[in-house]
Structure 1
Amino acid sequence: MAVKIGIASNHWIHPSDRFDTNYIDYIQIDYVDGIRESGGVPFILPLGQPDEAETYIESVDALLLTGGQGVTPILYGAEPIKEVEETDIYRDEFEIALVKAAVKAGKPVLGICRGLQIVNVALGGTLYQDIYTQIGATGKHNQHPTSWEIPTQHVTATAGSWLQAKFGDRFLVNSFHHQAIDQLGADLTTTAVSDDKVIEAFESADGQVFGVQFHPEMMFKTHPEFREVFQHLVDLV
């Protein structure tokens, strides 16, 4: 039987020259390809209301949350600082509801970059709004203009974690973020850190919820080992 993976969409909410205010829900194709190439069937979940989350989760076997805007600070009890950049509380609240519904239903959850951050907030954790001003991060956590598929920084995996089992003790990843995990949410433990001690991955005690701060969807076509991140989600079903 096919494994159905729900991928929560982003939505375009700014007028554009070509489409004006004809807004769209969308997802980058690499997330879809990563699920397909791992044996799953991707289902794109359009952005909805929080009270619709349980219905969406009933229709899929697992949940994937993707990259995008920063997470709204007030949702984890903080006032925004000037470095926070764009946020989207409508997306935040819907995805938090999706995470809670998936956990309640016992269905696997993978968060990638922003997705990792929203999972953490959904489970009661907090974030750094800007790792450079708030904790003095010294690494280059946004590699632009270096091409996105090139791994540029090392992370160290936690002994006994699924990441260590798949990738070894220390491996290279790409990086595109300035927010990051501060306090971990309930039942989450760190599974990888960067050399400047930024949390790069986590998983729950039962292994059903996991996340990575880097972007495997950008790398797996040129570095096939990163398909294992999507494969791990499919295999948990």
Structure 2
Amino acid sequence: MFIGITGNKKLSIIGEDERQISYTSNDIVHIIQNRDASPIIIPIGSPTNAREYINRVDGLLVTGGQDVSAHLYGEKEVQMDSDSCYQRDLFEIALIREAYRQNKPILAICRGMQIVNVAFGGTLYQELDAPDATVIHRQKFDLTQVSHSVTINPTSELFQILNQTSQLQVNSYHHQAVKDLATPFKASAWASDGTIEAFEAIESRINIIGIQWHPEFLLQTEPLMNNIFTDFIANVQKYKLYLEESEVI
């Protein structure tokens, strides 16, 4: 069972030269490996190659990173020096739409949740940070610690995944967030200031969950976070078995 993980790129010093490298967090890689699945890191590439990548994996995990370009949802950038990567945006939108077309499960984290929303026609708040904010969404301390609470929708799939937990303490490291939620989704968690902290597909046949916080860093301090990944892998396995049985029939 193969899980595609969206990669990022950055400059790194190799010898005496500065080179671009492709990477993803080892925390995510180890989480997938520890659940008897094989992670496949998908480097940023051309949208035309999205179908080929998705054909080769059984599920897609969309990771965090840069801002999503506001041009993709019809707005001008609030900050001219916005940290975004248009190439990554377009490539990941293509991956997400192809995974949706093939009905392969998607788990989206932080920026991943935001780009999934944009991929289906939603919009984002470009800047949440404010001096009088009641919730600090970009914490200044270690992400293995929690910074605020979220309320879980009791009718949501996430509520069931988290053992019917209605309040959860989470970490937070973002300054953008879902504004207009795309049509295929419903909110499944909120911060106390109303910020959407999680969403999921409305139709049960579509397996897409978006999480605004970083559960991958809280597995030790908040054990319920393990359920998010365990459920994702279980759904991927279920879908894979369904395909195999369909081929036999």
- Taking structure 2 as the reference length, what is the TM-score of the superposition? 0.88
Q: Which letter maps to 1:5?
A: I
Report the number of matched residues.
Answer: 231
Q: Deviations over 1:152-181 (max 9, x none)?
A: 210000012122123300110000000000
1:69 aligns with 2:66: yes
1:123 aligns with 2:120: yes
Give the deviation of 1:83 after TM superposition.
7.6
Q: Which letter maps to 1:202?
A: F
Structure 1 or 2, whichever has the larger Rg, is 2
Q: Where does 1:45-194 land on structure 2 (aligned, <5 Å)?
A: 45-82=42-79, 85-132=82-129, 137-144=133-140, 146-167=141-162, 168-194=165-191
Rounded to whole Å, the distance in 1 between the matches of 2:176 and 2:23 is: 22
Determine what percentage of the aligned residue pairs are the same residue. 39
Rounded to whole Å, the distance in 2 between the matches of 1:19 and 1:75 is: 37
The 10-residue stretch of structure 1 (155-164 or 222-231) with the greater mean CA deviation from structure 2: 222-231
Structure 2 gaps of 5+ residues are 237-249
Q: Deviations over 1:46-89 (max 9, x none)?
A: 11100000000000000001010000000111100128730000
Residues 161, 231 of structure 2: 8 Å contact kept: no
Q: Where does 1:12-51 land on structure 2 (aligned, <5 Å)?
A: 12=10, 14=11, 16=13, 20-51=17-48
For residues 4 and 236 of structure 1, do their structure 2 counterparts lie closer, same or farther at Cα, with a shift above 3 Å needed? same
Rounded to whole Å, the distance in 1 between the matches of 2:229 and 2:80 is: 31
Give the deviation of 1:138 after TM superposition.
2.4
What is the alpha-carbon root mean square deviation over aligned residues? Answer: 1.8
- Taking structure 1 as the reference length, what is the TM-score of the superposition? 0.92
Rounded to whole Å, the distance in 1 between the matches of 2:211 and 2:133 is: 18
Match of 2:243 in 1: none
| 1:23 match: secondary structure | strand
Rounded to whole Å, the distance in 2 between the matches of 1:218 and 1:19 is: 33
Structure 1 gaps of 5+ residues are none
Q: Deviations over 1:15-69 (max 9, x none)?
A: 6596643110000100111212233221111111000000000000000010100
Residues 84, 129 of structure 1: 8 Å contact kept: no
